[in-house]
């Protein structure tokens, strides 16, 4: 997985690309570190470029959401597609992290 970060008026958009699995652990933890330190109020994960997520990837989303709750950064997701959308719907992750489909 790789990603790009864009900040605008306290809102960070992180565009994820590739596969969100255990191998993405290090990169994803950098994103979480940034959420905690960079003084933003909202972080939107753009999943449009993500083509696969597994349960380890869902675990990373839980981790990011819990970190966001601790430092009062609202985490959101948007535009999941294909298998990623299926996984989010099956696991109802949009009920814990707001998701724009």
Partner 1 sequence: MSSDRTAAAAAPDAARAVGGQRVLIAHPRPPALAVLRAALSTIGVRAMDVAQDTDTLLAMVAQGAPDLLVLHLGILTDGLDLLARLRALPGMRDAPILVLGRFAGAGERLALMKAGATDLIPRPVTRPELAARLRVHLENRALNRSLQAVIGSLQTYHTGAVQRMTLARDMQLDLLPTLAECGGLERRYAIRLDSHFESSSELGGDIWGARALDDHRFAVFLCDFTGHGVAAALNTFRLHALLTKIALPGDDPAETLAAINGLLVGLLPETQFATMIYAVIDVRAGTVVYATAGAPKPIIGRPDGGLEVGASVGLPLGVSPKASYRNRAMAFPPGSFLFLFSDALFEARDWEGQIFGYQGVVDLVSGLDEDADLEGGPLRQLLERYFTSMPRPLADDLTALWISRRPDPPGDPD
Binding site for partner 1 (CB under 8 A): 22, 52, 54-56, 58-60, 62-63, 66, 83, 86, 89-93, 95-96
Shortest distance (Å) from residue 7 CB to partner 1: 26
Bridge partners (DSSP) listed for residue 74: 42
Q: In the complex with partner 1, which residue's Cβ is closer, 11 or 96?
A: 96
Determine contact, residues 49/81, Cβ cutoff 8 Å.
no
Shortest distance (Å) from residue 92 CB to partner 1: 5
Rounded to 10 degrees, the C-alpha dihedral 100/66/50/77 comes to 10
């Amino acid at each position: 997985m790789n990603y790009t970060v864009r900040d605008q008026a306290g809102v960070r958009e992180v565009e994820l690309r590739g596969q969100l699995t255990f191998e993405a652990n290090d990169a994803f933890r950098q994103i979480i570190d940034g959420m905690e330190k960079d003084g933003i109020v909202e972080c939107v994960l753009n999943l449009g470029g993500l083509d696969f997520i597994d349960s380890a990837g869902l675990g990373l989303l839980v981790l990011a959401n819990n970190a966001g709750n601790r430092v009062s950064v609202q985490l959101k997701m948007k535009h999941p597609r294909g298998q990623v959308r299926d996984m989010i719907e099956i696991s109802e992750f949009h009920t814990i992290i707001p998701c724009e489909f």
